[in-house]
Amino acid sequence: MNQYAVIFDMDGVICHTNPYHAKAFEAFFKKYEIESSEQEFEEHMYGKHNSYIMSHFFKRPIMGEELLALEFEKEDMFRQVYASVIDPIPNYIEFLDALKNAGLKTAVATSAPKENMDLILDGLNIRSKMESLRSSENVTKHKPDPEVYLETAKQLGVLPSECLVFEDSYSGISAAINANMKVVGVLSSHTKEQLPPCQYYINDYRDIDVAQVKQLIAGK
């Protein structure tokens, strides 16, 4: 039995949601009269957990009940914007089906809240194709800490060395590297030069197939 596993981040990896998160944050920041720029978004939003994002942009620690309330408000704005849009990165569904037909285990490990993950999984009808689902509520330490990836491997019953992670952000790729997993960089939000070194890079899922996945995990 094949023990290889493929683990997907979600935002920027399954769907190109980052422009819609940016729109939601723009409306959110406007409400709270917070100044921001596109460069600041790139450096301090993409791939980051809301606790970091809120604290950075509010310029003070945001935690506890205040964090939960602000996070829900912003993410609800995102879900309202994205619910009618939900669209996978080109060839993702076909690639996922090919992985399942080849007997590979698959999972989602995201820093996003569970409500966002549910929206996308059910919108694309792919929940049943994943053996493990982990969102921000399932971890105590967020990317670049490797916890979410190590816990996913444990749940899948595979070694970290048997996993290939698809990530699009600096912190996400760093988390996978810190978990001693191999990584494919998805260039939906950043260039190769803006990311840590990966084993392979794709613009979308037309750039990779199952045979390449197996070779990458095997280190060939």
CATH number at 94 reads 3.40.50.1000
Task: Express each pLDDT in 45-63 by its tens digit.
Answer: 777 788 888 999 999 999 9
What is the domain extent for residue 59?
Answer: 18-82
- Residues 6 or more apart whose Cβ sits within 8 Å of residue 155: 107, 131, 132, 134
Number of domains in the chain: 2
Q: How confident is the model at residue 44 (pLDDT cuts 50, 70, 90)?
A: confident
Q: Which residues, in sequence order, are bridge partners of residue 186?
A: 202
Q: Do residues 200 and 93 both lie within one domain?
A: yes
Region 157-178: what's the mean pLDDT? 97
CA distance 62 to 55: 5
Q: How confident is the model at residue 1 (pLDDT cuts 50, 70, 90)?
A: very low
Region 33-39: what's the mean pLDDT? 83
Q: Do residues 45 and 142 both lie within one domain?
A: no
Predicted model pTM: 0.90
Q: Which residues, in sequence order, are bridge partners of residue 166?
A: 8, 184
Q: Do residues 57 and 10 both lie within one domain?
A: no
Q: Do residues 156 and 94 both lie within one domain?
A: yes
Q: Do residues 210 and 151 both lie within one domain?
A: yes
Q: What stretches of 49-203 show up as alpha helix (H) in DSSP?
A: 50-58, 64-82, 92-101, 114-124, 147-156, 170-178
Q: Do residues 73 and 92 both lie within one domain?
A: no
CA distance 123 to 104: 23
Final residue in a domain of this structure, among 40, 62, 82? 82
Final residue in a domain of this structure, among 61, 82, 103? 82
Task: Express each pLDDT in 84-140 by its tens digit.
Answer: 999 999 999 999 999 999 999 999 999 999 999 999 999 999 999 999 999 999 999
